[in-house]
Amino acid sequence: MIIGLTGKNASGKGEAAAYLKKKGFEYHSLSDILREEATKRGIEHARENLINLGNELRSQFGPNYLAKKNK
């Protein structure tokens, strides 16, 4: 079973993820992939920068790029 969590800042995604981890689910964050790529490019990990980078990568490689890279 795969469960995806989305939502605005401070909407409780992290709390829901922590609960699911306690129940034995694995946790993968697509934001972690963005932070790794930003580091490689020398980009500050500011929210706006990560949003722009994510949009760029999805535009260049397709909408499921981050999910595929997470495997």
User: 53, 38 in Cβ contact below 8 A?
Assistant: yes
What is the tens place of the pLDDT at every residue in 3-59? Answer: 999 998 889 999 999 999 999 999 988 889 999 999 999 999 999 999 999 999 999
Compute the C-alpha angle 70/4/43, nearest 5°.
45
Cα 32 to chain centroid distance, Å, stands at 6
Rounded CA separation 42/56 (Å)? 15
Single-letter amino acid code for the residue at 30: L
pTM: 0.75
User: 42, 23 in Cβ contact below 8 A?
Assistant: no
- Locate 38 and state its tokens: 């930003």
Break the chain into its structural domains and give their ranges: 28-69
